[in-house]
Amino acid sequence: AAVLILTLAACRHADTHDTFLLRGAGYGDYVDKATRINYPEVDLPLDERVNFAVEPRRLSRDEKDEVWDVSLAEAIQLALANSRVIRSSGQFLSPGNAILNNPDFARTVYDPAIQESGVLFGQRGVEAALSDFDAQFVTQMVWGRSELIQNNRANAGGLNSGDTLVNETGAYSSVIQKRLASGGQVAVSHSWNYTGTNAPLSMFPTAYDGNVRAEFRQPLLAGGGAEYTRIAGPVSTNIQGVTGVQQGVIIARINNDMALADFELAVQQLIHDVEATYWQLSLAYRSFDVQSEILDATISIREVMDAQHEAKTGEGGAQRKSVTEREIQLEFEVAQARDRLYAAEGELRRLLGLPINDGRIIRPLDDPMTARLAPNWETCLNDALTHRPELRRQKWSLKSLEMQLRAADNLTMPRLDLVAAYQVNGFGNNLLGGPSEAISNPGNLNSAYDTLFAGDQTGWNLGFEFSMPLGRRFAYAQQRSLELRIAKARELLNAQEVEVSHEVASVFRDIDRNYLASENALNRLLRNKDRLALLQQQRNVDPTRTTIDSILQAKQTVAQSELQFLSSLVEYNNSLNDLAFRTGRTLENNSILLSEANWSPEAYQDADNHYRRRYYAREAVWKHQTPDMSASIDLPPSYTAPVYDLPEGVIAPPAIEDEIEPTPIESPDGLNGQVTSFISPPLPDLE
C-alpha cells in the first residue's frame, strides 16, 4: 500500500509537458546557437601582402634569399607610396597600438579628406558650412472635403436647416528661401487656396484666392554682419548649447588646416622612423659581419690547433679547450646578431608597407654620414618655432578660439531684426480662366491669375522684431568660457614653445656627445688594431711569448671596438635625424612637399569676378580696406608654384610685386613667419 501511494504521488507531480510525434530540436539547441559569438561577413578580400606572404625569416630557417639593395631615398619613397595607414615604430607590439585597439584614431591618408567632408557639429567641413546658404525649396498640395448638416439657417450660407453643407478645399504653396552672408534671410513664396461650396449665397461656387509674397529678415545687432556669419554660421536659436559659435566657414577651414597639420606630423614621424630603422638595419648588418669574421677566424685557429694536436705539436690542450669554448660562445653571438638583423629588416618592412617576406632581404645601400655637423642654435630654434606642425596646429586652435570670441561678443547684444514683406493678391472663379459659373461677375473675376498679374490688390508690412533674454546668462557664460579657453590655449602655446626649445637643446647635446663618442671609439679601434698587429708580430717571431688565446682575445677586442664605433656612428646619424625632426625640416630635407589639390573651375571664376570688382572699384577711404589676416604661407626656398589651367574666359590677375609681410596670426617675437636655412661647411671625416 505504501508503494502504491508513493507511485500515485509521483504520477501526480510528474512533468506534464506536451509531447509531439514529429518533435524537432529542443530549446537548448536554439539557446546554444543564439548565445554563440557572431562573426561579420565583410565583402573585402584579404590583403595580398598577407595572403601571399612567405614564411618569415628566423634562425631555424637557413635559406639564401635574394639581396635587395635599397637606398635611404628609395626607402622613404616606398614608405610614402605604401602607407595609406601611417605607422610608427612605437606602435608595434604595444598595448596602445591605435591600428588594432583604436582604429578610428589611427592616422591615414584619408583624414584630411574626412575632415573636409565632415558634417557633424564641431567637425564640419567647408562644404557642410556652406550648405547653410543653400536655397531651400518647399512645396505642398493638400485636398479636402467636408460634409456637415446645418442646424442654423443663418450660418448655413443660404441653406435650409437640416440641409448638408458641402465644402471642398485645396491648398497649394511653394516657397524658396535662402540665407545671406550678412546673416539675413530672403524668401519668395506662391500659394493658392481653392474653395468649393454648395452655399447659395456665395458669389462663386468655386473660387481661388492666393498671392505671391516676398519676405526679408536682417539681424541688426546680435547675429548680424558678415563677420559673425563667416565665423558662427547663420544665427539660430536651435540647440545653441550644442552648435555654439563654431559652425561658420572660417572655423571649418581652420579645422581643415588643423587636420592637415596632424597629417603632416604623422608623415614626419613616419619618415623619421624609417630613417632611424634604416640605420639600425645597417648597424645590424655590420654587427653580423664583424661577429661572423671573428667566428671564422676562431674556427680557422681551432682547425689549426686540431691539426697540431693530431700531430702532437703546437700548444697544449688547455689553450685548445679555451679556443673551443670561445668558438661556441661566438656561434651564439653570431646567431643573436642574425636574429637582430631579421628583426630590424622586418620592422623596416613594416614601416615601408611591404609584406613579411617576398623572397628578398633588404640591405641598406647608403653609409652613415661621418662628417661633423655644427648647426647654428639661433637658426635651428627659429626653424623649430616656425615649422613644427604641433605649434602650427596650436596656433590654428588659438586663432579659432579668438574668432569664436568675436562671435560670442556679438551675441551678448539683444536681438533686433528688420522684417519686411510685400505680396500681390489674386482671386477668381477659375485658376486660369474659363466659363464663369456666377450669376453676376463684377470686375471680371473669371481668372485668378489675371487678377494676380494685374497687381491691383497688394499688401505689405515693415517693422522691427526685438527679443532679449533677461540676464543674458547664456551669452555671458559662453563669452567667459571662450576667454578662459583662449587663456589656456595661449599658455599651452607658450609651454609648447618652451618644450620645443628644450627638445632642440637636447638634440644639440646628443649631436656633440655622439660625435665625440664616435671619435673616441675610432681612436680605440685604431689602438686595438695596432695592439693586435703587435701581438701577431710577436707570435711570428717567438710563438712561446704570445699565446693563441691572447691573439683571439685581441681580435675580439678589435671586433668590440669596431661595433662600438659603428653603434656610435649610427647614434650620431640618428641625432642628425632627430635634429631635422625637432626643427620641422624632415619633409623638406627629403624633398617632400605637401600641398592641397586644385580648386574647381567655378572657384577660379568667382575669384576672377571678385578681383575685377575690387580692381576697378573706387577707393572707399572711410572703410576698412584690408581684411584681418588669419594665415600665412611658408614655402621652402626650392618650392616652385604649380601651373594650373584656368577655365576659358578667366584671365589671371597681375602678379603682386610687393613684399608680403608676416601676418598677424604669427607671434610678434620675430622668430615666426620667416623662411631660413643653414648650411654648415663640410668638415673632414672621422679619423
**Which amino acid, residue 442?**
P
Q: Which of 93-102, 162-171, 290-299, 624-633 has the lowest mean pLDDT?
A: 624-633
Res 23 pLDDT > 70: no
Under a CB-based contact definition with an 8 Å cutoff, are residues 417 and 220 in contact?
yes
Residues 488 and 573 in one domain: yes
Question: What per-residue confidence (pLDDT) applies to 549?
Answer: 77
- 25-42, pLDDT tens digit by residue? 566 667 777 788 888 888
Query: Is residue 56 domain-resident?
Result: no
Residues 298 and 355 in one domain: yes
**173 belongs to a structural domain:** yes
For residue 426, the cross-strand partners are: 210
Q: Are residues 314 and 353 in the same domain?
A: yes
- Provide the domain count of the chain: 3
Q: By mean pLDDT, which of 131-145, 312-326, 473-487, 584-598 is the weakest?
A: 312-326
The answer to the question of residue 401 being in a domain is yes
For residue 57, give every residue at least 6 positions away whose Cβ sits within 8 Å of its Cβ, in sequence order, or none: 65, 342, 345, 346, 357, 361
Q: State the pLDDT confidence band at 362, using cuts at 50, 70 and 90.
A: very high
Does some domain include residue 65? no
User: Could you tell me the pTM of the whole model?
Assistant: 0.80
Strongest mean pLDDT among 22-26, 28-32, 82-86, 313-317: 82-86
How high is the pLDDT of residue 311?
67
Residue 27 domain-assigned (yes or no): no
Say if residue 686 is in the same domain as residue 570: yes
pLDDT tens column, 460-474:
999 999 999 898 899
Banded pLDDT at 9 (limits 50, 70, 90): very low
Residue 583 lies in a domain: yes
- Do 498 and 374 lie in one domain? The reply is yes
Average pLDDT over residues 130-143: 93
Within 13 A of 515's CA, how many CA atoms are on the CB side? 18
Which residue range is the domain that position 309 belongs to?
85-115+255-364
41 in a domain, yes or no?
no
| Residue 238 sits in the same domain as residue 286 | no
Q: Does one domain contain both 386 and 486?
A: yes
* Residue 201: band (very low, low, confident or very high) from pLDDT cuts 50, 70, 90: confident
Spell out the residues 6+ positions from residue 684 whose beta carbon is closer than 8 angstroms to its own.
371
The answer on 329 and 295 residing in a single domain is yes
486 with 458, same domain? no
pLDDT for res 202: 76
Burial of 462 (0-12, 13-18, 19+ CB in 10 A): exposed
Tens-place pLDDT, residues 401-451: 999 999 999 999 999 999 999 999 998 888 887 655 554 555 577 888 888
**CATH code assigned at 387:** 1.20.1600.10
Q: What is the pLDDT of residue 336?
A: 93
676 Cβ contact partners less than 8 Å away, ≥ 6 residues apart? 379, 382, 383, 386
Last residue of a domain, one of 467, 498, 529: 467
Verify that 309 and 222 share a domain, yes or no.
no
Whole-number pLDDT of residue 298: 85
Measured distance CA(414)–CA(157) in Å, rounded: 50
Which of 444, 467, 490 is the endpoint of a domain?
467
Domain co-membership, 397 together with 535: yes
Mean pLDDT for all residues in the chain: 82
- Among 364, 383, 398, residue at a domain's last position: 364
Let me know whether 548 and 577 are in one domain: yes
Q: 83, exposed or middle or buried, with CB in 10 Å at 0-12, 13-18, 19+?
A: buried
Tell me if 71 is assigned to some domain.
no
